[in-house]
Structure formats: C-alpha cells, structure tokens
Chains A and B, each alone.
Chain A
C-alpha cells in the first residue's frame, strides 16, 4: 500500500533563510508526486508536481527514487510562504496525502 510521510508538523524559519520541507513515500510502482499548499483561510491548491520539474513561487522539488523522497525547497523564505504544505502521491487517479507540515516564516 502507498504511504506518504511528512516527519515535521511544524517548521519555523526566519525570513530569508532556506527552507526544506521533507516528504518520503512508499510505493512499489512508478510514483507521481505533488505538493499542495493551503494558505490561511484559503482552499487547498496545487503548488507543483514532479513531472513538470518547474519552480513555482521560488519552490522546487526533486524526486529522488533511491531515497524515495520528494523534498520541497526554497533558498530564501518569505513571509507569504507561511502556510500548510501537503505532499501527495498519485496512484491511478487516487491521491494519498501526508499529514502536512506547517511552515512559519518569522521576521
């Protein structure tokens, strides 16, 4: 069965510091991984997907099949990055979410 693990419930960083939100997965097939974000009082929305290999709002994530990881990174955190971040694994058309990490960016 597939599983997504986000080991940190809360990550607090200073503005301008690097950010790394950890995500590990377990799945025997070829994974499709996503990061979703939920800003305060907003709905859950897609941030990025590993297939696109793109940078969104300065965030990037690389799929490491050897380590079964899909960590989300940003070199310089901004206040507006404060939000709840969920890593998700897609199998067939079903999304399995991790428990989420709250990112808190402070001045």
Chain B
C-alpha cells in the first residue's frame, strides 16, 4: 500500500513569512497526526484529527499555527508568521484507529 505522502520535502523561508505543509494519509486511515521534531529532540505532537474533527491540539501554538483536515482525508498545516524557532522537521502520521502510526517522510523547514 502507498505510504503517507508529504510535500514539500524541504522549505526555506524568512522569519515573518507564511508557509504551508500538505499531508495525504494512507487510504482509509481515520486518524491523522502532525508532529514537530526539532533537531536533537523526539517528535512532539502538535495536533490529532479523527476524520475531520480535532481530538487534541493542546500543544499547537494557536497564535501562529493552524491545521485543517477538510473532508477527513488530506490535511494542511500552516504557520503564519514563522519564527526562527519553528525550524524543524514536520512529520505527518496516520493510523486506521489509534493503534500503530505510519509516518510520512517529513518536511524540513528552515526559517532564516
């Protein structure tokens, strides 16, 4: 089966600019996650969707980060405006229920 797809793979922007990431989960997976992985750290959950509803967004910095999962399939994560500390790899994962999570390749963001 096709895995989780993410785009772009790399993005370089200047601080205060906006950026958006896209994720296409494995077909049929109801749950979708966005993680932020800063260099030298483990992935940190930003937001979890169950179909098109938000289950957990307690660690999402809502003043600048937003995410949506229209129609319960693809998802986008947006940062507006970006800060230097947002430089990280953004991982998308999906799972059929809440069991094993399947990760995408990630988007590496560098904010200058």
Q: Is the CB of A43 within 8 A of B106?
A: yes
Q: In this assembly, does A46 line the interface, its C-beta being within 8 Å of a C-beta of chain B?
A: yes
Interface residues on chain B, number (Cβ under 8 Å): 22
> Which one of B43, B48, B105 lies within 8 Å of A93 (CB-CB)?
B48
Q: Is the CB of A100 within 8 A of B31?
A: no
Q: In this assembly, does A11 line the interface, its C-beta being within 8 Å of a C-beta of chain B?
A: no
Q: In this assembly, does A45 line the interface, its C-beta being within 8 Å of a C-beta of chain B?
A: yes
> Which one of A43, A45, A95, A99 lies within 8 Å of B45 (CB-CB)?
A95
Q: In this assembly, does A4 line the interface, its C-beta being within 8 Å of a C-beta of chain B?
A: yes
Q: Main SS of chain A's interface residues? A: strand
Nearest CB in chain A: distance from B4 CB, A: 8
Q: Is the CB of A99 within 8 A of B3?
A: no
Bound complex: CA of A99 vs CA of B3, how far in Å?
Answer: 25
Q: In this assembly, does B103 line the interface, its C-beta being within 8 Å of a C-beta of chain A?
A: yes
> Which one of A44, A46, A92 lies within 8 Å of B43 (CB-CB)?
A44
Q: In this assembly, does B104 line the interface, its C-beta being within 8 Å of a C-beta of chain A?
A: yes
Q: In this assembly, does A35 line the interface, its C-beta being within 8 Å of a C-beta of chain B?
A: no
Q: In this assembly, does B56 line the interface, its C-beta being within 8 Å of a C-beta of chain A?
A: yes
Closest 3 interchain pairs by CB? A97-B42, A93-B98, A44-B103
